[in-house]
């Protein structure tokens, strides 16, 4: 496992609140745009596909069929 | 505006086979004279294999078809003696603009490296390409083009395939040792065999127009996401020869194809992009749904499938005709060796393995481009728009923008024909085993020439000479093998000044591109792909790699 899941943030409450406040003024369409931009910015910052795929797998647990996460290029 | 292009009619001619008492058996019959079929036929004829090419029509293709040919494809055609004609008729391009809404997001430049004979890409409407290929085919003895010869039925036997063909004079029978099906996406051969495609349909529809106009667009590839003249959808605009433009309008899955093809409706869409006052002539306008699929196997007994008959992808990325021509490139020399008894029929298994792998790569790229161009959910759309939004400010986001990753030549790294590098040889780059050779300017007997002109049709030992050239007795020994290996020596410009034999690497680009320090030897296949390479000229190693590359000896 390359994804770092031990606590790393100095002020987790601050980060959580910043995210919560950012969402407070957004409607559903804007939330999607915000999330999408944030994901792409962070994905590039992380810069490691294996880490991103592990994060996707955990985020998708119980939501996305496992076989789809295993091979994201699979042709459905 | 010029008058519409008149398509040539090649005309039906009665063949002696139609008067034969018993069906005549040919080594190879091809069905379908499109880019793939013509390329296979020309290649075989140049290798002195007699070939019969059947086509149910007697002219070139109509409608909106292939446009864009990549350097590797042009190099294959150059080997076949038609590359210069295609480049001369076509329109070169290397820059592209990507737009989002009403703004230009970025410009890309397929910065072409100097020192290659062929350009990165040339655009040419498919009917003009086919005219060039037919003109070349007609120069070749042993290439029997039979127009208005329509396959009706076929029967596969152990050692041949029997065909019944209809003509204006009625049907006749003929036979072949190998049948090559290059009869396109709706392949009749495939249907007669009852073979299924595996893959998917992209749930989207596109109006594909070929339009002649004097409207002044810069000569680039334009890709618009959500432009003001076609909201919520994408539009692609690409130049062809003679002021003809290819314009693709995305319509969405629920568009009504019949309504969208109405001339008034097409003209309305075109006026929005070309301007209310623009003069234009619509040469073709058709609504397409793109297939991304392939046959499970490309070789079925003595029937070989190539081009769209074997696989289809969406057009973004120019992977249709380009991959068909690479199929042809891969197939022709293998058929020749098998027919000559110099290789086992199993060599054709490697055509299946290598080109199925290439098709899968193309399908993967097509699926990825479809994900970006035709988002399937609101969140996918949001991700796409986020990339476009960020791309104006941040270069990293441009890398996400996928309007079709443009065709690159296949690399047969995993093929059983390919001998992997010996790690002790410590290659740093160069052309890896399985990859297509790279071009470079050279001088041959004082004349300016190209490296790729020296390769192809037979196996070549490409040797970067040091102090001494390969011993002549060893060169002769390689040339005398059942499948001969021709030795081509590359010298530095300084060494060539002393001894004019071989090729002079005048600009040092061959050495750079092949990591060609003295002694380095490449074994190059007839399709100009690298079979093996070493740091020394070793006839024994070459002989072993040759056996492997001709299917005589499996990997250890």
- Residue B383 distance to chain A (closest CA, Å): 5
- Residue B282 distance to chain A (closest CA, Å): 36
Residue ranges with strand state E in B342-482:
441-444, 447-450, 459-464
pLDDT attached to residue A72 = 45
Confirm or reject contact between B382 and chain A (CB < 8 A). Answer: yes
Whether residue A59 lies inside any domain: the answer is yes
- How far apart CA B174 and CA A7 sit, in angstroms, is 76
Q: What is the mean pLDDT of residues B286-315?
A: 95
Q: What is the pTM assigned to this prediction?
A: 0.94
For residue A64, the enclosing domain spans 27-76
Whether residue A20 lies inside any domain: the answer is no
Name residues whose C-beta falls within 8 Å of residue B495's C-beta, 6 or more positions apart in sequence: B465
Q: Which of B7, B6, B76 is nearest to B35 (CA)?
A: B76
Whether residue A19 lies inside any domain: the answer is no
- Residue A47 distance to chain B (closest CA, Å): 11
Question: Which percentage of chain B shows pLDDT scores above 90?
Answer: 86
pLDDT in tens, B3-43: 778 889 999 999 999 999 999 999 999 999 999 999 999 99
Whether residue A65 lies inside any domain: the answer is yes
- How far apart CA A33 and CA B58 sit, in angstroms, is 54
Name chain B contacts of A35, Cβ cutoff 8 Å.
Answer: 379, 382
* Domains of chain B and CATH, by start: 16-89+121-197+295-366 (3.50.50.60), 423-549 (3.40.30.120)
Q: Does B288 score more than 50 pLDDT?
A: yes
Name chain A contacts of B378, Cβ cutoff 8 Å.
Answer: 29, 32
B457 close to B450: Cβ distance less than 8 angstroms: no
A73–B382 C-beta distance less than 8 A: no
A37–B390 C-beta distance less than 8 A: yes
3-state secondary structure of B181: strand
Domain count, chain A: 1
Whether residue A53 lies inside any domain: the answer is yes
- How far apart CA B181 and CA B171 sit, in angstroms, is 19
Whether residue A9 lies inside any domain: the answer is no
Whether residue A8 lies inside any domain: the answer is no
Q: Does B238 score more than 70 pLDDT?
A: yes
Residue ranges with strand state E in B110-167:
121-123, 143-147, 150-156, 161-166
Confirm or reject contact between A27 and chain B (CB < 8 A). Answer: no
Whether residue A52 lies inside any domain: the answer is yes
Q: Which of B105, B61, B72, B40 is nearest to B318 (CA)?
A: B72
Backbone region of residue B424 per phi and psi (left: phi > 0; alpha: psi in -120 to 50; beta: other values): alpha
pLDDT attached to residue B237 = 94
A44–B397 C-beta distance less than 8 A: yes
Rg of chain B on CA atoms, in Å: 25
pLDDT in tens, B162-178: 999 999 999 999 999 99
Confirm or reject contact between B363 and chain A (CB < 8 A). Answer: yes
């Amino acid at each position: 496992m390359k994804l770092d899941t031990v606590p790393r943030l100095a002020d987790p409450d601050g980060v959580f609140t910043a995210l919560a406040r950012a969402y407070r003024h957004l409607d559903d369409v804007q939330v999607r745009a915000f999330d999408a931009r944030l994901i792409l910015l962070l994905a590039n910052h992380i810069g490691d596909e294996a880490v991103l795929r592990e994060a996707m797998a955990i985020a998708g647990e119980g939501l996305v069929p496992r076989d789809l996460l295993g091979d994201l290029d699979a042709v459905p | 505006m010029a008058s519409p292009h008149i398509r040539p009619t090649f005309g039906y001619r009665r063949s002696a086979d139609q008067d034969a008492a018993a069906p005549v058996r040919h080594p190879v019959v091809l069905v379908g004279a499109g880019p793939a079929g013509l390329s296979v036929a020309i290649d075989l004829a140049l290798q002195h294999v007699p070939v019969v090419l059947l086509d149910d029509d007697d002219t070139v293709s109509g409608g909106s078809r292939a446009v864009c040919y990549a350097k590797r494809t042009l190099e294959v055609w150059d080997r076949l003696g038609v590359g210069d004609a295609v480049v001369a008729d076509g329109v070169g391009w290397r820059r592209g603009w990507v737009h989002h809404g009403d703004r230009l997001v970025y410009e890309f430049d397929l910065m072409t490296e100097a020192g290659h004979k062929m350009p990165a890409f040339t655009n040419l409407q498919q009917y003009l390409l086919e005219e060039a290929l037919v003109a070349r085919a007609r120069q070749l003895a042993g290439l029997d083009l039979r127009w208005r010869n329509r396959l009706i039925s076929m029967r596969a036997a152990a050692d041949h395939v029997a065909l019944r063909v209809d003509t204006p004079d009625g049907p006749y029978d003929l036979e072949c040792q190998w049948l090559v099906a290059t009869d396109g996406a709706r392949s009749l051969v495939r249907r007669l065999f009852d073979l299924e495609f595996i893959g998917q349909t992209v749930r989207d529809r596109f109006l594909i127009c070929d339009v002649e106009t004097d409207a002044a667009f810069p000569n680039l590839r334009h890709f618009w996401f959500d432009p003001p003249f076609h909201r919520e959808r994408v539009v692609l605009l690409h130049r062809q020869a003679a002021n003809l433009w290819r314009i693709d309008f995305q319509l969405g899955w629920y568009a009504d194809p019949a309504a969208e093809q109405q001339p008034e409706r097409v003209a309305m869409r075109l006026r929005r992009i070309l301007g209310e006052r623009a003069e234009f002539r619509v040469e073709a306008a058709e609504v397409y749904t793109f297939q991304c699929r392939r046959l499970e196997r490309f070789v079925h007994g003595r029937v070989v499938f190539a081009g769209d008959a074997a696989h289809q992808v969406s057009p973004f990325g120019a992977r249709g005709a380009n991959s068909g021509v690479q199929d042809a490139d891969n197939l022709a020399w293998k058929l020749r060796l098998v027919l000559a008894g110099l290789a086992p029929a199993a060599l054709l298994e490697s055509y299946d393995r290598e080109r199925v792998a290439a098709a899968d790569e193309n399908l993967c790229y097509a699926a990825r481009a479809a994900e970006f161009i035709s988002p399937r959910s609101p969140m996918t759309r949001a991700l796409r728009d986020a990339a476009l939004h960020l791309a104006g400010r941040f270069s990293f986001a441009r890398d996400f923008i996928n309007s079709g990753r443009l065709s690159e030549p296949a690399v047969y790294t995993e093929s059983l024909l390919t001998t992997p590098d010996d790690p002790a040889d410590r290659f740093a780059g160069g052309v890896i085993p399985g990859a297509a050779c790279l071009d470079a300017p050279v001088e041959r007997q004082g004349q300016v020439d190209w490296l790729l002109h020296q390769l192809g049709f037979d196996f070549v030992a490409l040797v970067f000479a040091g102090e001494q050239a390969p011993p002549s007795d060893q060169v002769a020994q390689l040339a005398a093998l059942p499948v001969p290996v021709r030795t081509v020596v590359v010298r530095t410009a300084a060494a060539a000044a002393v001894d004019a034999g071989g090729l002079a690497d005048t600009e040092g680009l061959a050495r750079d591109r092949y990591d060609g320090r003295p002694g380095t030897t490449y074994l190059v296949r007839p399709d100009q792909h690298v079979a093996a390479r070493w740091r020394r000229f070793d006839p024994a190693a070459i002989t072993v790699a040759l056996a492997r590359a001709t299917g005589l000896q499996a990997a250890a």
